[in-house]
A and B are shown apart, each in its own frame.
Chain A
């Protein structure tokens, strides 16, 4: 039973307005909301991966990527390192604000944003120089579909980080858990984006 915690107030205080929301296992609803959203996102990526594996396993072309295309494994590997390191910087930002270090929060957020933007820039640059388009075979379609879907998520993550960074510079966040949800929620989303890229990179570029 996930959410059977219902508070009973023994003192019978008068309550105005709508009833208290039931919180599943004490998780605040913003955090629960982003996790549920991520579950739906995993399903979306799952559909793309299903198409990818269908092409690779069921259609089973003689070579992957099909001749004469090649994937820039090394550049994408460096890009992967850049994106993964941004998870460490957003975690640093959150650990900082949990200890009341607002400078650390700002530094962590700015670094995360810059690393995310660098990743996106390199990916766009890769698209420009890769030598095939989404119209080149099913391989091109699924490559651009998967990496593009992920890129769109990085873009959304950057938007969320932008709002969080602006709010951090305006002094909106504090050490109490409820006072930095505006960073916690984008932070969780950003980690999800990083995890998805690890899966995309390993699957599409390496295996």
Chain B
């Protein structure tokens, strides 16, 4: 869930919006009849609730705040769930960090299986699965001779990216998904939304675990 109220600046925006709305209601009431003002206020309330709902669902375009590292290190934020240990992803990470002092943060969103689990915060199992996959991928990243750490992220991958960027001054982002016909993230436009919201280079890696396991065997 995208929290539309995070800081004083957000609260100030609400004051401005409420102020403008209140002025319009007051003017309408004074110029016409109180009932017109009441209807207008109800319409504004409905509209505001709709905007807040869409904003909390992440449906409205916004820009994500970025932080700066400033120490010459190249930082790569890797976002992946089931594909976190995929060969294609590891190859991409290796390529990104070739001849660079590189730091990697792997964020693995913990995906609740159902809406009921999501709303009941019954996510322990999803977090544990995500943690296991992430730890395996960190071992692989270690084997590549790279420095990496991991975090379990929000179930919404775009929120997980936003959360990570607040503490990790990434220079680029790598998002790993299943192939288009199998990927729920692609179906929900996770990569496109990240490209719209974040002013950083974003690489989309497709990991086909079926093909990879066949090739291994």
Kindly identify, within residues 107 to 154 of chain B, every residue whose CB is under 8 Å from any CB belonging to chain A. 110, 112, 118, 121, 123, 127, 131, 134-135, 138, 148-154
CB atoms of B8 and A5 under 8 A apart: no
Partner of A25, one of B9, B41, B163: B163
Residue B11 at the chain A interface, CB threshold 8 Å: yes
Bound form: Cα–Cα A87–B12 in Å: 7
Bound form: Cα–Cα A194–B18 in Å: 9
> Which residue of B has the minimal Cβ distance to A185?
B8
Chain A contact residues: helix, strand, loop or mixed:
helix
CB distance from B122 to the nearest CB of A (A): 10
Residues on A with beta carbons closer than 8 Å to the beta carbon of B43: none
* Residue interface mask A1-31, B partner, CB < 8 A = 1: 1101111111100000000000001110001
Bound form: Cα–Cα A98–B180 in Å: 43
CB atoms of B123 and A1 under 8 A apart: yes
> Which residue of B has the minimal Cβ distance to A35?
B5
Partner of B154, one of A4, A10, A187, A195: A4
CB atoms of A1 and B148 under 8 A apart: no
Residues on A with beta carbons closer than 8 Å to the beta carbon of B154: 1-2, 4-5, 25
Kindly identify, within residues 21 to 65 of chain A, every residue whose CB is under 8 Å from any CB belonging to chain B. 25-27, 31, 35
Bound form: Cα–Cα A164–B122 in Å: 40
Residue A122 at the chain B interface, CB threshold 8 Å: no
Kindly identify, within residues 130 to 148 of chain A, every residue whose CB is under 8 Å from any CB belonging to chain B. none
Residue A107 at the chain B interface, CB threshold 8 Å: no
Bound form: Cα–Cα A13–B34 in Å: 65
Residue A191 at the chain B interface, CB threshold 8 Å: yes
Residue B77 at the chain A interface, CB threshold 8 Å: no
Residue A120 at the chain B interface, CB threshold 8 Å: no
Residue B55 at the chain A interface, CB threshold 8 Å: no
Residues on B with beta carbons closer than 8 Å to the beta carbon of A127: none
Bound form: Cα–Cα A199–B162 in Å: 33
Kindly identify, within residues 30 to 71 of chain B, every residue whose CB is under 8 Å from any CB belonging to chain A. 30, 34, 37-38, 41
CB atoms of B25 and A206 under 8 A apart: yes
Residue B3 at the chain A interface, CB threshold 8 Å: yes
Partner of A9, one of B3, B149, B162: B149
Residues on A with beta carbons closer than 8 Å to the beta carbon of B200: none
Residues on A with beta carbons closer than 8 Å to the beta carbon of B155: 1, 4
CB distance from B23 to the nearest CB of A (A): 9
CB atoms of B41 and A1 under 8 A apart: no
Residue A84 at the chain B interface, CB threshold 8 Å: yes
Residue A207 at the chain B interface, CB threshold 8 Å: yes
Partner of A4, one of B22, B152, B162: B152
Complex A-B: 26 CB contacts under 8 Å: A1-B110, A1-B118, A2-B1, A4-B155, A5-B151, A5-B160, A8-B134, A8-B135, A10-B150, A25-B6, A25-B163, A26-B166, A27-B3, A31-B6, A84-B15, A87-B15, A91-B8, A94-B9, A188-B8, A192-B11, A195-B14, A198-B22, A199-B18, A199-B22, A202-B25, A202-B41
* Known interface pairs A1-B110, A87-B15, A207-B34; 17 further A-B residue pairs with C-beta atoms within 8 A, sorted by A's residue number: A4-B154, A5-B154, A5-B160, A25-B3, A25-B6, A25-B159, A27-B3, A31-B6, A84-B15, A87-B12, A94-B8, A184-B8, A188-B7, A191-B12, A195-B15, A199-B22, A201-B22
Task: Identify the B interface with A (CB < 8 A).
Answer: 1, 3, 5-9, 11-12, 14-15, 18-19, 22, 25-26, 29-30, 34, 37-38, 41, 110, 112, 118, 121, 123, 127, 131, 134-135, 138, 148-156, 159-160, 162-163, 166-167
Closest 10 CB pairs of A and B: A191-B11, A187-B8, A1-B155, A198-B22, A26-B166, A10-B149, A91-B12, A87-B15, A188-B11, A6-B152
